[in-house]
C-alpha cells in the first residue's frame, strides 16, 4: 500500500538515484539466471562424464592386471613365491587375480581373501543408465566395499577377474568431480559475463532508457522535450521506441485539446451567470406578451417562449461537454414530426431567404405525423437541430449563383423491428476530406472555416447516450447524409404486464 501511494516525482527521483539494489535490477536477475543455466548445462554434461570416467578407471585397472597376469599365467601359481604375488597385488592395488579360460577359472595371485564381495562389475556393460546408476552408487555408498571387476583380455577369449577395494575408485571420482566442478564454474562465470554484457548492451540499456523516459514524461507530459527520440534500430525495441514516441505525441495533442476544452468551459462559465439573467428578463417580457390580445403576437409568442426556455436550459448545461458528462436521457414516447417542425421553425429559413434571395433552401419534413420514437425530447431536439444547422450553413456557404442549383434539406424516418432510423440529407457541397477524417471530434471535425466541430461531437455523445449510433453515409454525388439509429428503451416485464392488463 505504501508503494502504491508513492508520488510520480518520488519514483523519478528513486530511479534517477539508482537506489534499487543490484540483485533486484533486471540486469542482476539476468546475471543470476545465466549463471544458473550455465551450471545446469554443466551438470547435464557432468553426469554422463563421471559415469564414463568410472568405467575407464576400472578398464585401466583391469588392463594393468591383465599385463601382470601374463607372467603369473606362464607358470603354475604354486611355483610363484608368495612375496612375488604380494608385490604384484600391491602394485596393481588388488586383493586377488584370477583368469577364466575355456569355462575354467584359475587363481593367479591372492593375499587376504575377503569374506564377501559387495558388488560385481562387468566392464563390457555400457548401457548409459546402468553406468550412471553405478557411478552415483559409488559416490554415495562406496568407500569401504570390496568389488569384483571382470572383462575380456583383448581378443584371446580369456576373461580376467580381480578383487579390490573401491576406496581408490571413489577417491579418484571425487577428485574428478571437484576438478569438473571448478572448471564448470569458471566456464559458467565467463559465459554468464559475456552473455550479460551482450544482452545488457542490446536489451537492458535500451529498456532502461525507455523506462527513464516514461517516468520523466509522466512527471511533465506537456513538455515536448520529454518525448523520447527513437533510435535507428530495426528490431522489436526499435519498433517499441517509435511506438512510444508516437503515443507520447498523440497524448500531448490530446492533453492540448483537453486544455482547450477546459479553457472553453472556464470562459463560458464567466458569462453563464449574466446570460441566464438576460434570458430571465427575456422570459419575463415574453410572459407579458402572452397577455396581449394582438393575434399576430399570440401566434408567435408560443414559439418565442419555447425558444427562450431552450436557451435557458442550454445556458445551464453548456458546460456539460467541456466539463462534466451530459445528464442521462429522460426517455419518453414522442412524435418525431413535431420535433422536426420545431427545428424548422427555429432555423427560420424564410428569414434567411429574405436576406439572401439567391440562397433559398427547401426544408422537407417527410416524417409521418403518427411516427413515434422513444427518446429524450430536449436532447433529440438538440441532435436534429445541430445536424440541420450544419446543413443549412453548408448550403448557405456555397457561393455559386446558379439558379438551377437545388438546395434542399430532407428529414426522413422509419423503423426496423425495435430500432428507429432517422435520416438527415442535404444537397449541399458535402463534407471535405479533413472533416470526414475527424468526424465527431471536437475542434477538428468542422466543415467550415472558423467552426469548432463541437456540434457533431455533441450529437455523437447524445446519440450514444441513447444507446444508438450515427454514421455518415457515402453519397456518390454531392451532399451530406447522416443516418441515426435509436433502439427502443427496454420495457421491464412488470411494466409490460401492466400495459397488457390495461389494454385488456
Q: Report which of 439, 441, 485 is spatially closest to residue 464, judged by C-alpha positions.
A: 485
Q: What is the pLDDT of residues 177-226, one digit of tens each?
A: 888 888 878 887 887 788 778 877 777 778 888 888 888 888 888 788 88
Output the CA angle 189-193-194, nearest 5 degrees: 120
Q: Is pLDDT of 442 > 80?
A: no
Q: What is the pLDDT, as a whole number, of residue 413? A: 95
Confidence of residue 6 (pLDDT cuts 50, 70, 90): very low
Would you mind telling me the total number of residues written for the chain in this entry? 504
439 contacts 445 by C-beta, under 8 angstroms: yes
Q: How far apart are CA 423 and CA 462, in angstroms?
A: 16
Q: Is pLDDT of 171 > 80?
A: yes
Strand ranges in 248-379 using DSSP code E only, listed in sequence order:
332-335, 362-365, 372-375
Please tell me which of 21-25, 76-80, 106-110, 479-483 the model is most confident about, judged by mean pLDDT: 479-483
Q: How far apart are CA 26 and CA 20, in angstroms?
A: 10
Reported as type and span, the H/E element at residue 3 is none
Q: What is the pLDDT of residues 108-123, one digit of tens each?
A: 777 777 778 888 888 8
Antiparallel, parallel or unpaired: β 469-473 and 419-426: unpaired
> For every residue of 24-91, which 3-state class applies, written as one string?
HCHHHHHHHHHHHHHHHHHHHHHHHHHHHHHHHHHHHHHHHHHHHHHHHHHCCHHHCCHHHHHHHHHH
Q: What is the mean pLDDT of residues 126-150?
A: 87
More confident residue, 319 or 455: 455
Greatest CA span in the chain, whole angstroms?
159
Amino acid at each position: 500500500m505504501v508503494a502504491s501511494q508513492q508520488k510520480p516525482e518520488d519514483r523519478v527521483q528513486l530511479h534517477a538515484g539508482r537506489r534499487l539494489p543490484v540483485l533486484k535490477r533486471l540486469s542482476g536477475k539476468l546475471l543470476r539466471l545465466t549463471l544458473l543455466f550455465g551450471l545446469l548445462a554443466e551438470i547435464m554434461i557432468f553426469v554422463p562424464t563421471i559415469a564414463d570416467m568410472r568405467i575407464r578407471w576400472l578398464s585401466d585397472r583391469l588392463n594393468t592386471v591383465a599385463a601382470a597376469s601374463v607372467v603369473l599365467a606362464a607358470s603354475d601359481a604354486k611355483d610363484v613365491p608368495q612375496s612375488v604375488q604380494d608385490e604384484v597385488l600391491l602394485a596393481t592395488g588388488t586383493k586377488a587375480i584370477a583368469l577364466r579360460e575355456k569355462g575354467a577359472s584359475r587363481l593367479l595371485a591372492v593375499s587376504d581373501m575377503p569374506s564377501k564381495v559387495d558388488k560385481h562389475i562387468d566392464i563390457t556393460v555400457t548401457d548409459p543408465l546402468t553406468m550412471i546408476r553405478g557411478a552415483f552408487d559409488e559416490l554415495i555408498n562406496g568407500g569401504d566395499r570390496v568389488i569384483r571387476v571382470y572383462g575380456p583380455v583383448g581378443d584371446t577369449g580369456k576373461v580376467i577377474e580381480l578383487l579390490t577395494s573401491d576406496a581408490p575408485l571413489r577417491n579418484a571420482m571425487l577428485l574428478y568431480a571437484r576438478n569438473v566442478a571448478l572448471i564448470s564454474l569458471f566456464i559458467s562465470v565467463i559465459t554468464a559475463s559475456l552473455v550479460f554484457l551482450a544482452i545488457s548492451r542490446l536489451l537492458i540499456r535500451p529498456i532502461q532508457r525507455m523506462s527513464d523516459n516514461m517516468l520523466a514524461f509522466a512527471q511533465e507530459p506537456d513538455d515536448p522535450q520529454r518525448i523520447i527520440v527513437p533510435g535507428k534500430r530495426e528490431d522489436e525495441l526499435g519498433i517499441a521506441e517509435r511506438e512510444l514516441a508516437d503515443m507520447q505525441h498523440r497524448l500531448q495533442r490530446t492533453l492540448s485539446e483537453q486544455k482547450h476544452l477546459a479553457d472553453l468551459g472556464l470562459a463560458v462559465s464567466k458569462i453563464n451567470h449574466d446570460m441566464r439573467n438576460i434570458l430571465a428578463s427575456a422570459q419575463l417580457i415574453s410572459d407579458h406578451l402572452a397577455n396581449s390580445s394582438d393575434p399576430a403576437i399570440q401566434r408567435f409568442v408560443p414559439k418565442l417562449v419555447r425558444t427562450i426556455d431552450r436557451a435557458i436550459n442550454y445556458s445551464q448545461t453548456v458546460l456539460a461537454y467541456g466539463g462534466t458528462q451530459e445528464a442521462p436521457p429522460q426517455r419518453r414516447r414522442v412524435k418525431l414530426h413535431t420535433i422536426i417542425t420545431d427545428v424548422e421553425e427555429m432555423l427560420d429559413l424564410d428569414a434567411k431567404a429574405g436576406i439572401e434571395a439567391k440562397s433559398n433552401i427547401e426544408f422537407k419534413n417527410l416524417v409521418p405525423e403518427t411516427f413515434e420514437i422513444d427518446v429524450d425530447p430536449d436532447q433529440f431536439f438538440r441532435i436534429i437541430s445541430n445536424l440541420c444547422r450544419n446543413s443549412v450553413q453548408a448550403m448557405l456557404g456555397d457561393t455559386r449563383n446558379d439558379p438551377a442549383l437545388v438546395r434542399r434539406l430532407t428529414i426522413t424516418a422509419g423503423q426496423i423491428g425495435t430500432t428507429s432510423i432517422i435520416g438527415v440529407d442535404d444537397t449541399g457541397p458535402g463534407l471535405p476530406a479533413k472533416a470526414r477524417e475527424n468526424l465527431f471530434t471536437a475542434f477538428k471535425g468542422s466543415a467550415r472555416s472558423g467552426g469548432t466541430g463541437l456540434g457533431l461531437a455533441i450529437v455523437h455523445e447524445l446519440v450514444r447516450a441513447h444507446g444508438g449510433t450515427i454514421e455518415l453515409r457515402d453519397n456518390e454525388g454531392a451532399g451530406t447524409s447522416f443516418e441515426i439509429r435509436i433502439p427502443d428503451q427496454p420495457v421491464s416485464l412488470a411494466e409490460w404486464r401492466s400495459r397488457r392488463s390495461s389494454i385488456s
